[in-house]
Amino acid sequence: MKKVFKVFKNKAALAGFLIILFFVFIAIFADFIAPYDPYEQSLYDRLQPPSKKHLFGTDDLGRDILSRIIYGARISLAIGIISVALALGIGASTGLVSAYYGGVIDTILMRLFDVMLAFPTILLAIAIMAALGPDLKNAMIAVGIVNIPTFARIVRASALVIKEQEYVMAAYALGQSNFKIIFRHILPNIVGPITVQASLSYGGSILSAAGLGFLGMGAQPPTPEWGAMLSQARSFIISAPWTVTFPGIAILLSVLGFNILGDGLRDFLDPRLR
């Protein structure tokens, strides 16, 4: 626990953590914080500029933008959790297996990931979305899949170093099972790089999913997802620029939070990079 607090001596990591904490807080307590129902339409209040009644103004259907952004935090955090969990789960296990067993398994898996890495990420996500169909759940899956190779590579590289350590040899000599060696001796020692990558990927996933939402391939209306909100607000940038401004700031801040926490963690875990 003491070690966890030491991370926050790094001001950037602390700032990132506080930003994330803020978004987690509004996501959890959205029902109590949001002044209006995010789906409630009011034709009399269409495209109202920011005022005391509606702090961030209203959209073309008269919905309160602040409330939609607050509820949108839930969606964005969920996108991050699910896509990173998917990428981490599959990426880390394949990376571990690849490093531990080597040989043909390693070659096949790494060539497969080479192919995946040959695509610019958002394009691969778009191709997957074209196959799965436009939907928030599918966007999470697509963003998760495109992040698998990055996790696999990082885990493999770290595991290859740990695998050669004497205590792993000792565990092998003592006759422990491969499963136990991988998950009890190798995995705990590569948590550092995995954590850093998870934080950086979390921000990237929010950004990619918002991009998909913006292109109309992610969350569909009336879901208050920030990227989809921007996409719907595009037609009103001349008459109601506030409809575009606030969802974008929310995306920027949340991604920024995860990115600077990731940077801080990396500095903390690998002081050579400072």
> Binding residue for other proteins (CB under 8 A) from 43, 173, 174, 238?
238
Q: In the complex, what is the shortest distance from the CB of residue 180 to other proteins, in angstroms, rounded to a whole number?
A: 34
Q: Which stretch binds other proteins (CB under 8 A): 56-64, 74-82, 185-193, 240-248?
A: 240-248
> Binding residue for other proteins (CB under 8 A) from 7, 33, 90, 116?
116
CA nearest neighbour of 262 among 210, 195, 189, 188 = 195
β-bridge partners, 58: 64
Q: Does 230 bind other proteins (CB under 8 A)?
A: yes
Of 208-227, binders to other proteins (CB under 8 A) are 210-211, 214-217, 227
DSSP string, 125-142: HHHHHHHH-S-HHHHHHH
Q: State whether residue 58 is helix, strand or coil.
A: strand
CA nearest neighbour of 129 among 119, 113, 140 = 140
> Binding residue for other proteins (CB under 8 A) from 10, 121, 199, 201?
121
Residue the block writes with tokens 């992040």: 147
DSSP 48: P
Q: Which is nearer to other proteins, 22 or 119 (CB)?
A: 119
Q: Does 90 bind other proteins (CB under 8 A)?
A: no
Q: In the complex, what is the shortest distance from the CB of residue 274 to other proteins, in angstroms, rounded to a whole number?
A: 9
DSSP 218: S
Q: Does 112 bind other proteins (CB under 8 A)?
A: yes
Q: How far is CA 258 from CA 145, 165, 218, in A?
A: 20, 32, 21
Q: Does 157 bind other proteins (CB under 8 A)?
A: no
Q: State whether residue 210 is helix, strand or coil.
A: helix
Q: Which is nearer to other proteins, 110 or 168 (CB)?
A: 110
Distance CA 21, CA 203 (A): 14
> Binding residue for other proteins (CB under 8 A) from 35, 49, 102, 120?
120
Q: Does 196 bind other proteins (CB under 8 A)?
A: no
